[in-house]
């Protein structure tokens, strides 16, 4: 049974996220790279930028999930041992 386009998209997203997690994401010249990709794929550059932004935040939230714990107290001022 052939895969639906929706399922293909889900699989592609999982693969892309895993690739970014394992290889990292080079942000140097990212806008230029997305512009080049836009020309090659006929996907609007604004859509590519939004896609990468959303993908980045999804990976961040998956990597560092929010908890229901209250924030910790701010650290007390540290004594450096120097005289003022």
pLDDT digits (tens, 9 = 90+) for 70-84: 556 655 555 555 555
Domain limits for position 41: 26-64
Question: 51: pLDDT confidence band, cut at 50, 70 and 90?
Answer: very high
Is residue 12 included in any domain, yes or no? no
Structure tokens at 35: 């512009």
The tens digit of pLDDT for each residue in 21-47 reads 999 888 888 899 999 999 999 999 999
Report if residue 19 sits inside a domain: no
Residue 13 lies in a domain: no
The least confident of 7-11, 43-47, 55-59 is: 55-59
User: What tokens were used for 63?
Assistant: 């990597």
Residue at 37 is within a domain: yes
45 in a domain, yes or no?
yes
How many folded domains does the chain comprise?
Answer: 1
Give the span between the Cα atoms of 58 and 16, in whole angstroms: 12
**Is residue 8 one of the residues assigned to a domain?**
no
For residue 51, tell me if it sits in a domain. Answer: yes
Asked, for residue 5, whether it belongs to a domain, the answer is no
Task: Calculate helix-pair angle for 30-41, 45-63, nearest 10 degrees.
Answer: 120
Q: How far apart are CA 54 and CA 48, in angstroms?
A: 10
Instruction: Write out the two tokens for 58.
Output: 């999804």
């Amino acid at each position: 049974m052939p895969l639906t386009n929706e399922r293909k998209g889900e699989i592609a997203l999982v693969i892309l996220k895993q690739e970014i997690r394992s290889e990292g994401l080079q942000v140097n010249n990212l806008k230029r790279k997305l512009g080049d990709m836009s020309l090659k794929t006929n996907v609007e550059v604004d859509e590519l930028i939004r896609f990468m932004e959303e993908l980045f935040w999804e990976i961040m939230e998956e990597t560092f999930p929010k908890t229901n714990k209250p924030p910790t107290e701010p650290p007390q001022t540290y004594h450096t041992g120097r005289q003022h």
